[in-house]
DNA sequence: GCTTAGGATTAG
């Protein structure tokens, strides 16, 4: 089958309505790179954002900012030990200058931090800040500095000073760089620790120990309040000692990646158990771990902001490593890649997560790869595209190598928090064969198809963990996966640059177009023109061009798919499932009681499974009117339902309307969430244009209940799905950036409502884009397209009008070869 | 309020 772009002379959208050409985007092509600071530096687990790259959408919980102090204001007292201080920090030379103006930013410090900064930090010093919030700088106009400022207040705020130390002072592991870190408001305390050999432990003592890890489980949830890391360690005394570390927070647990890692624990309690000594963490416990391979550099792994580390520690680690290397302590299992997996075996897999999707309450499907190809036939699974988190459409190379992993039970809970792009180690993964009866299995011939299962439980250290980006274990993997052509479109810079515009918060997307373009038809009578001629022309014109597609943005459909209001023309993002789950969960906690006389209600008490998941009441309400019309299955109202409940119910009833009780009456939830569900489809309402009130539906006998009818009855203005792509057209040496928006449905010959709900429709779009812009092919191999373009003006923030271009009245058609 | 786990395969 061959696809060809032609111009369609007739055009009418599915619903017979037209969205106007209203786009107001600026593309920032100079988004600075993401720089991860050196492991030895503070905030190394965070993404370092260059100062020019800061904006109000910066996720400060994941970011650190580094800069040189170029101005330090006076400490201003606000009374009662409260202070404020303003400083300016400047991006250092090392980062590429992408904008000369935004290299310096105001930092406003509050409270004790302001006071400490005033006393401890001088101009010219380099600082790293974390836990900040980003605000709009009210003085940007006046001081010509960065349009944002950094606000440092509260417990999360932290500021580190990078400072040279005299050689005699105990240093951080960054000693080789001749620099150390001091955290403002905490001075380093120098004290000696003594470590007890493992064969000298006596019960009932609190000790510090070093050891080589000979067994470990990743932290797992206990029946109590904490996670437990269960491990066994040994040292030169050859004594093996079991340890149980209980911490509520996962980040406080020892970072153990593989057998042979070295662990140092401070303040562990010895305890007699079963004739031997066990170790248990106790008050003031701290832990640091190290890679166990003698050839690797000694880099402490810890999430502690301050920890003790001296040259003696480095020596102890090296001695333990050398000793362990000459012992028969650890099994000598070779690293298994997907290419060397044996059916029915258990192995540890180091891989990259491509995407994930929930299967049911106890199972998550992970799509991963390690750059090698599994030689065995693999079992296939299918999931709804709408529940996939991550790039739904993989390049051919990637999807050839990617495998599915089913993660069950306790591990599913951890897997829910994994982010696509993360590097993972999955311990005790089971390569199973035989037919699967999990809900997402596509069936198939089954018997000798391989499937990867991470079973529930923690036997044999079964578990999954994220490896840090600087882990030596992933460098080779990273090199391999990054060598694939499509890679730079998926997880790194390009996407974050695109997200600058495509992820712009909805309120800034309100369209401010001067007026809608006139309706014109291309018709084949229009003569083809060059891109240069299009650019030289004014707005409100229609052109017929012949060009190639050089590139397009965003690369992922889930980034291009939007919701928009046909009335007020606001464009907004589609909320992700994590957000929706949270919203529904919150609402389900306080369902209240509905006593509307026009509803028939029935409540079910669903048992919980612990203090963090208490029981809840799910209520289903039927409209008496619909019941009388024998349409009781057409629409039900539910209260106390989680997102999962709603999806389940959506399989049995036509329309599900989640409601909460407000003064004894049914009322809708916040319109941030879908107000209506039908099968896989979700319907949203416009916050600005809806005047919601839940009242009895009046249906005539022949009237069909559909989303439009329900929305109207509720006073809701239905949002429509839209698809927004920016295409770079090429014609010889000339290029032109154009949008595809209004006529996206015509272009792809697909309903965007379907695209939001099913994989098949999504595949149609990705196949089309792969055909128009074949990944990894030269421009000579890109097809030539006949396109209609319209020109129109958009009023920018600066008040000036800009001419924009949009593809219109063009559809992809398939023609026989 | 101060437990939880204390290695040793799921059975999808």
| pTM value surpassing 0.85 | no
CA of A312 to C1' of B1 (A): 40
The answer to whether the C-beta of A271 is closer than 7 A to strand B is yes
Distance A404 CA to B12 C1' (A): 14
| Nearest nucleic acid nucleotide to A226, CA to C1' distance | B4
In this prediction, residues A781-794 reach a mean pLDDT of 82
* Candidate ranges A66-75, A153-162, A401-410, A494-503; pick with highest mean pLDDT: A401-410
pLDDT per position as a tens digit, A325-374: 999 888 877 889 999 999 999 999 999 999 999 999 999 999 999 999 99
The rounded distance, in Å, linking the Cα atoms of A787 and A764 is 19
The length of chain A in residues reads 817
For the CA of A249 and the C1' of B8, the distance in angstroms is 27
Measure A805 CA to B8 C1' (Å): 66
Q: What residue spans of A277-408 are helical by DSSP H?
A: 311-325, 396-401
Q: What is the mean pLDDT of residues A697-716?
A: 83
- What confidence tens digit (pLDDT) does each residue in A444-489 have? 545 679 999 999 999 999 999 999 988 988 999 999 998 886 533 3
User: Is A165 buried (19+), middle (13-18) or exposed (0-12) by CB count in 10 A?
Assistant: middle
- Nearest nucleic acid nucleotide to A272, CA to C1' distance: B6
3-state secondary structure of A12: coil
CA–CA dist A504, A523 (Å, integer):
36
The per-residue pLDDT for A119 is 77
Nucleotide closest to A363 measured between CA and C1': B12
A244 nearest nucleotide via C1' and CA: B5
Phi/psi of residue A57, nearest 5 degrees? -90, -5
Question: pLDDT tens-digit profile of A640-650?
Answer: 899 988 988 88
In this prediction, residues A394-411 reach a mean pLDDT of 92
Is the pLDDT reported for residue A516 higher than 70? no
For residues A175-179, give the mean pLDDT: 38
Band the pLDDT of A507: cuts 50, 70, 90.
Answer: very low
On chain B, which bases lie within 7 A of the protein's CB atoms? 1, 3-12
From the Cβ of A452, is strand B under 7 Å away?
A: no
Q: pLDDT grade, residue A184 (50/70/90)?
A: low
B9 C1': nearest CA residue: A459
A225 touches strand B (CB under 7 A): yes
Closest CA to A562 of A691, A684, A709: A684
For residues A369-385, average pLDDT:
90
Q: Decide if pLDDT at A126 tops 50.
A: yes
Give the least confident one: A266-270, A452-456, A658-662, A715-719.
Answer: A658-662
Nucleotide nearest to A459 (CA to C1'): B9
Strand order in the sheet with A561-564: A571-573, A561-564, A720-723
CA–C1' A383–B12 (A)? 16
pLDDT confidence of residue A495: 32
* Per-residue pLDDT, A554: 86
- Spatial CA neighbour of A404 closest among A459, A345, A449: A449
Contact A265, A282 (CB under 8 A): no
In chain A, positions 196-215 with C-beta closer than 7 Å to nucleic chain B are: 214-215
> Per CA to C1' distance, which residue is closest to B10?
A455
* pLDDT given for residue A31 in this prediction: 23
Task: Give the residue-averaged pLDDT of A672-699.
Answer: 89
| Separation of CA A62 from chain center | 11
pLDDT at A486: 52
- Residue A718 carries which DSSP code? B
A453 touches strand B (CB under 7 A): yes
Q: CA end-to-end span of chain A, whole Å?
A: 6
With a 7 Å cutoff on the CB, does A230 touch strand B?
yes
How far, in whole angstroms, is CA A747 from its chain's centroid? 30
Q: How confident is the model at residue A572 (pLDDT cuts 50, 70, 90)?
A: confident
Task: Report CA(A197)–C1'(B4) in Å, whole number.
Answer: 27
The tokens of A503 are what?
Answer: 């992820």
Measured CA A228 to C1' B10 distance, in angstroms: 21
Distance of A254 CA from B4 C1′ (whole Å): 17
Q: CA at A342, C1' at B12: how many angstroms apart?
A: 20
CA angle A286, A289, A295 (to 5 degrees): 155
CA–centroid distance for A655 within its chain: 30
The answer to whether some atom of strand B lies closer than 7 Å to the beta carbon of A280 is: yes
Distance measured from the CA of protein residue A222 to the C1' of nucleotide B3, in angstroms: 10
The confidence score (pLDDT) of residue A277 equals: 96
In this prediction, residue A500 carries a pLDDT of 37
- Average pLDDT, integer, range A197-215: 96
Output the CA torsion sign for A410, A412, A417, A423.
positive
Query: Could you tell me what percent of chain A has a pLDDT over 70?
Result: 80
A210 vs A663, more confident: A210
Average pLDDT, stretch A260-277? 95
Burial A538-548 (b: 16+ CB within 10 A, else e): ebbbbbbbebb
Phi, psi of A780 (to 5 degrees): -60, -25
Nucleic strand B near CB of residue A253 (< 7 Å): no
* Other CB atoms within 10 Å distance of the CB of residue A529: 16
Q: Does position A652 have pLDDT exceeding 70, yes or no?
A: yes
What is the distance between the alpha carbons of residues A561 and A643, in angstroms, rounded to a whole number?
Answer: 21
Nearest partner of A371 among A352, A393, A348, judged by Cα:
A352
Nucleotide nearest to A461 (CA to C1'): B7
Q: Which residue has the higher pLDDT, A468 or A592?
A: A468
Q: In this structure, are residues A42 and A27 in contact, taking their beta carbons and an 8 Å threshold? A: no
CA/C1' separation A47–B9 (Å): 38
Question: Hey, is A688 helix, strand or coil?
Answer: coil
Among A110-114, A126-130, A517-521, A717-721, the least confident range: A517-521
DSSP 8-state secondary structure symbol assigned to residue A681: E
Give alpha helix (H) positions in A340-408: 396-401
Protein residue nearest nucleotide B1, by CA to C1' = A225
Q: Is the CB of A438 under 7 A from strand B?
A: yes
Nearest to A248 by CA among A205, A281, A201, A214: A281
CA dihedral A243, A246, A247, A248 (to 10 degrees): 150
Mean pLDDT of A684-697: 88
Distance in Å, residue A347 CA to nucleotide B9 C1': 12
User: Rounded distance, CA A558 to CA A389, Å?
Assistant: 9
Contacting residues for A186 by C-beta, under 8 A, at least 6 apart: A305, A306
Residue whose Cα is closest to the C1' of B12: A438
Which CA distances in Å does A266 have to A23, A210, A247, A323, A563?
A: 59, 9, 14, 22, 53
Distance CA(A292)–CA(A127), nearest Å, equals 32
Outline where A156-211 has alpha helix (H).
none
From the CA of A48, how many Å to the C1' of B11? Answer: 46
* Rounded Cα distance, A499 and A576, in Å: 15
Confidence of residue A442 (pLDDT cuts 50, 70, 90): low
Residue A90 phi, psi (nearest 5): -125, 140
* Mean pLDDT, rounded, of chain A: 79
Residue A522: the pLDDT is 46
Flag whether pLDDT at A631 surpasses 90. no
Statement: residue A738 has pLDDT above 60 = yes
Give pLDDT tens digits for A24-47: 222 222 222 222 222 245 666 778
């Amino acid at each position: 089958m061959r696809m060809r772009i032609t111009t369609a002379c007739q055009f009418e959208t599915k619903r017979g309505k037209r969205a106007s050409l209203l786009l107001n985007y600026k593309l920032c092509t100079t988004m600075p790179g993401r720089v991860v600071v050196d492991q030895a530096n503070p905030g190394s687990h965070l993404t370092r954002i260059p100062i020019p790259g800061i904006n109000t959408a910066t996720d400060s919980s994941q970011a650190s900012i580094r800069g040189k102090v170029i101005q330090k204001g006076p400490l201003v007292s606000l009374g009662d030990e409260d202070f404020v201080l303003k400083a300016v920090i400047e991006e250092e030379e090392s980062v590429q200058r992408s904008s000369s103006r935004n290299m310096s930013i105001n930092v406003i410090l509050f409270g004790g931090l302001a006071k400490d900064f005033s006393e401890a930090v001088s101009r010219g010093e380099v600082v790293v800040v974390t836990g900040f919030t980003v605000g709009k700088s009210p003085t940007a106009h006046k001081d010509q500095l960065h349009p944002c400022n950094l606000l440092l207040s509260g417990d999360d705020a932290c500021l580190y000073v990078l400072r040279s130390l005299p050689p005699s002072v105990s240093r951080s592991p960054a000693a080789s760089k001749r620099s150390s870190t001091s955290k403002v408001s905490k001075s380093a305390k120098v004290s000696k620790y003594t470590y007890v050999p493992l064969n000298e432990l006596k019960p009932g003592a609190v000790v510090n120990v070093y050891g080589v890890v000979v067994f470990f489980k990743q932290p797992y949830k206990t029946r109590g309040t904490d996670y437990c890391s269960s491990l066994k360690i040994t040292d030169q005394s050859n004594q093996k000692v079991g340890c149980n570390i209980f911490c509520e927070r996962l980040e406080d647990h020892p970072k153990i990646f593989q057998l042979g890692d070295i662990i140092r624990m401070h303040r562990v309690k010895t305890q007699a158990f079963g004739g031997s000594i066990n170790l248990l963490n106790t008050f003031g416990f701290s832990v640091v771990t190290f890679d166990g391979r003698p050839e690797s550099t000694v880099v402490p792994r810890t999430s502690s902001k301050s920890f003790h580390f001296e040259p003696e520690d480095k020596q102890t680690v090296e001695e333990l490593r050398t000793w362990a290397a000459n012992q028969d302590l650890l099994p000598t299992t070779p690293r298994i890649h997907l290419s060397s997996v044996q059916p029915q075996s258990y192995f540890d897999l180091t891989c990259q997560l491509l995407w994930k999707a929930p299967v049911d309450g106890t199972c998550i499907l992970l799509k991963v790869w390690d750059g090698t190809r599994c030689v065995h036939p693999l079992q296939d699974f299918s999931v709804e595209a709408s529940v996939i988190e991550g790039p739904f459409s993989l390049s051919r190379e990637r999807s050839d190598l990617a495998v599915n992993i089913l993660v069950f039970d306790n591990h599913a809970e951890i897997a829910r928090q994994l982010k696509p792009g993360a590097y993972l180690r999955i311990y005790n993964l089971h390569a199973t064969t035989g037919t699967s009866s999990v809900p997402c299995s596509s069936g198939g011939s089954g018997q000798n198809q391989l499937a990867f299962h991470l079973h529930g439980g923690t036997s044999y250290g079964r578990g999954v963990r994220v490896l840090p980006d600087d882990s030596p274990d992933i460098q080779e993997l990273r090199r391999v996966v990054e060598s694939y052509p499509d890679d730079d479109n998926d997880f790194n810079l390009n996407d974050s640059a695109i997200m600058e515009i495509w992820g712009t918060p909805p309120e800034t997307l309100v369209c401010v177009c001067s007026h809608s373009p006139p309706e014109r038809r291309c018709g084949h009578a229009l003569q083809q023109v060059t891109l240069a001629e299009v650019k030289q022309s004014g707005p409100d014109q229609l052109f017929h061009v012949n060009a190639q597609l050089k590139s397009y943005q965003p690369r992922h459909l889930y980034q291009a798919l939007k919701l928009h209001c046909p009335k007020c023309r606001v464009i907004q993002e589609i909320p992700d499932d994590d957000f929706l789950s949270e919203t529904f969960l919150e609402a389900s906690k306080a369902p209240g009681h509905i006593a509307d006389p026009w509803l028939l209600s029935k409540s079910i008490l669903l048992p919980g499974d612990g203090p963090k998941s208490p029981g809840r009441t799910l209520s289903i309400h039927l409209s008496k009117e619909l019941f009388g019309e024998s349409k009781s299955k057409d629409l039900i109202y539910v209260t106390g339902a989680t997102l999962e409940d709603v999806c389940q119910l959506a399989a049995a009833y036509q329309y599900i309307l989640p409601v909460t009780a407000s003064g004894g009456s049914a009322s809708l939830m916040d319109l941030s969430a879908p107000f209506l569900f039908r099968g896989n489809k979700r319907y949203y309402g416009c916050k600005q244009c809806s005047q919601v009130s839940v009242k009895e539906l009046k249906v005539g006998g022949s009237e069909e209940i559909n989303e439009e009818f329900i929305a109207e009855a509720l006073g809701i203005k239905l949002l429509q799905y839209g698809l927004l792509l920016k295409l770079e057209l090429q014609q010889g040496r000339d290029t032109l950036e154009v949008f595809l928006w209004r006529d996206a449905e015509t272009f792809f010959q697909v309903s965007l409502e379907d695209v939001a709900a099913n994989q098949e429709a999504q595949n149609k779009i990705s196949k089309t884009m792969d055909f128009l812009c074949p990944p990894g092919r030269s421009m000579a191999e890109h097809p030539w397209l006949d396109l209609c373009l319209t020109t129109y003006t958009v009023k920018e923030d600066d008040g000036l009008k800009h001419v924009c271009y949009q593809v219109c009245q063009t559809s992809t058609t398939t023609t026989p070869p």
